Amino acid sequence: MYRLLVVDDEAKIREVIKEYSEFNGYDVTEAEDGMTAVGLCKLNDYDLIIMDIMMPKLDGFSACKEIKKIKDIPIIMLSARTEEYDKLFGFELGIDDYVVKPFSPKELMARVQAVLARHNSAASSAPETPEEMEFGGLVINIAGRIVTVDGEKIDLTPKEYDLLFYLVENKNIALSRDKLLSDIWGYDFFGDDRTIDTHIKNLRNALGPYRDYIVTIRGVGYKFEI
């Protein structure tokens, strides 16, 4: 049975989500703010988190950032805010879906099922890779999600790390922007291929002297070339 963590400061919303989730066979734990959610994730394992953005004590974005530091749990963000900036910021933090309030509980359950299926498929189909890969002075520690350049650790956002690892995993293969968006951000991403270009630019800046490993394929996309 999948375990869901539902985080929202509105009890009625938690109640509705819990009712539909349990009807669909999920085990549900509730939290009324982001700080409680982070604490629960430190103590327990969950298969997916449904979390509101605007909450007391610790907002959803901040809670997501803290949770991603300790565990790789798929997150569906809930929000009454429809601005593209909020959606893009959420995806950059590593969320898997963004649902705007008011929402259909049935649609939310369909999205839960889709995210779980995608997450489990990626985990089961991922080829075996060494825990650490070295390309000259560029070292990528897969298990620890740590990247070092000439011995110095660099800070990457969750999506920048996912993008770098995906490129390295498919080294010397030209990858289109559409494929990168589909495989890293998901089929229901709210954005366009400019998101890829922005992340590539930030990634190259972070890699410094090893930026040229990421090659632009004009009219197609990018590849990690060694």
Which residue has better confidence, 68 or 208?
A: 208
Query: 3-125: what fold?
Result: Rossmann fold (3.40.50)
Mean of the pLDDT values across residues 127-156? Answer: 84
Residues 6 or more apart whose Cβ sits within 8 Å of residue 198: none
Supply the CATH classification number for the domain 132-224.
Answer: 1.10.10.10
Q: Which long-range contacts (CB under 8 A, 24 or more apart) does 96-100 make?
A: 96/186, 97/186, 97/188, 98/190
ω into residue 127 within 30 of 0, thus cis?
no
Go through the chain and tell me how many residues it has: 226
Q: Following DSSP, what letter does each residue of 191-205 receive, concatenated?
A: S-THHHHHHHHHHHH
CB-count burial class (<10 Å; 0-12, 13-18, 19+) for 170? middle
pTM of the predicted model as reported, rounded to 2 decimal places: 0.62
Q: Given a cut of 60, is residue 213 above it in pLDDT?
A: yes
Sign of CA dihedral 190, 82, 78, 67: positive
Sign of CA dihedral 194, 114, 179, 67: positive
pLDDT of amino acid 191: 54
Map out the domains of the chain as residue ranges: 3-125, 132-224
DSSP state of 88: H
pLDDT of amino acid 84: 76
Quick one: which of 32, 51, 33, 29 has its CA closest to 95? 51
Q: Given a cut of 80, is residue 192 above it in pLDDT?
A: no
Which residue has better confidence, 143 or 30?
A: 30
Sign of CA dihedral 150, 155, 157, 158: positive
pLDDT of amino acid 124: 57
pLDDT of amino acid 188: 52
Q: Given a cut of 80, is residue 160 above it in pLDDT?
A: yes
Instruction: Please tell me the distance from the alpha carbon of residue 161 to that of residue 89, in angstroms, as a whole number.
Output: 15
Q: Given a cut of 90, is residue 220 above it in pLDDT?
A: no
Q: Alpha carbon of 35 to those of 71, 78, 86, 134, 208: distances in Å?
A: 15, 16, 20, 37, 36
Contact status, residue 101 vs residue 77, Cβ threshold 8 Å:
no
Rounded-to-5 percentages of helix, strand, coil across the chain: 45, 20, 30
